[in-house]
Amino acid sequence: MRTRLSVVYFSPSAASLSPLASAWVTGKGLKAVVVADTAEIIAMSLRALPAMVLVDGDAAAPGMELCRALKNDPYSAIVPVAFLFHAHDDAEVMAAFGAGADEVLSPVFGLDEQRARLDVLLTQTERDVSVHPSTRLPGTNEIEREIKRRMEVGAPFAVCYADLDNFKEYNDRYSYNDGDRVIFLLSRILHDVVKGLCGAGGFVGHIGGDDFIFILPLEMVAPCAGEIISVFDTLISYQYSEQDRRAGYFFGKDRRGQLHKVPFMTLSIGVVTNERRRFTHPAQVSELATEMKSYAKTLPGSVFVVDRRNDPVRDEGD
């Protein structure tokens, strides 16, 4: 997980936070650092993205330049920037928003509302950066959090790692745009089946590319995985041209440039559960799920395989 500063407070003149910023940071249990140089903040953001940048209203002009610099870089553009004006001025408010500010606060709002607006901004940003941009599904941080949560609850659960077979060959034959469409299709299948059958008990996340994780109550593995594979196998042929669809395959080149038949994409799902194992860390679950997914990919067609192994028996002296 990326190391993040909590809050950066930009103020060339102040050595400490404003009363509003101080109360809000303390109330959220965060840490803050006061920085007087915009170049230093930009350099800090390249090393570790801050959770938020607060701009002292007395530094509005350089603060707007800082905001533009952060928002013009796709890497740091996700950092929320809020201006804290000590007096309300319509022109300054509009200028701040024009520079790319995510929020502008002034005494026109009461102190409670200003703090509430900062709360909402922080929550929205954390949610936005935790999802995959193409599928809007939770990313790796949220996946790890959900696995950890299930481990702490202690109820039986299953972690399922889904991966496409022959996806690279499909991308080479068609285009990355077509590949993105297939990934989005798979994300919808996973989401709709898992949420449809499990409701709030199901979770679907996107690791990246054609790799997905979904987490289920133990008893829902076979119904969900079976339905996902059925729907996927029904729809995937329509992602190919009519000529390829009639043939049921296409010719592609291997690494040596030799032509070979490439079958249609299939879906491999590796499943690990806490039925016979005691997990101690999400990384352990991830490692086993990856192992089961790799095994599933050695089998023909769309399949799901469940790890039925027990934890290794420890010697008494261990």
CA distance 115 to 108: 13
Handedness of CA 17, 20, 21, 26 (dihedral sign): positive
Expressed in percent and rounded to 5, the helix, strand and coil fractions of the chain are: 50, 20, 30
Domains of the chain: residue spans and CATH? 7-129 (3.40.50.2300), 140-306 (3.30.70.270)
Sequential pLDDT tens for the chain (318 residues): 344 468 999 999 888 899 999 999 999 989 999 999 999 999 888 777 899 999 999 999 999 999 999 999 877 888 999 999 999 999 999 999 999 999 999 999 999 999 999 999 998 887 777 677 778 888 898 899 999 999 999 899 999 999 999 999 999 889 889 999 999 999 999 999 999 999 989 999 999 999 999 999 999 999 999 999 999 999 999 999 999 999 988 988 766 777 888 999 999 999 999 999 999 999 999 999 999 999 999 999 999 999 998 876 555 554
Contact 162, 212 (CB under 8 A): yes
Per-residue confidence (pLDDT) for residue 3, from 0 to 100? 42
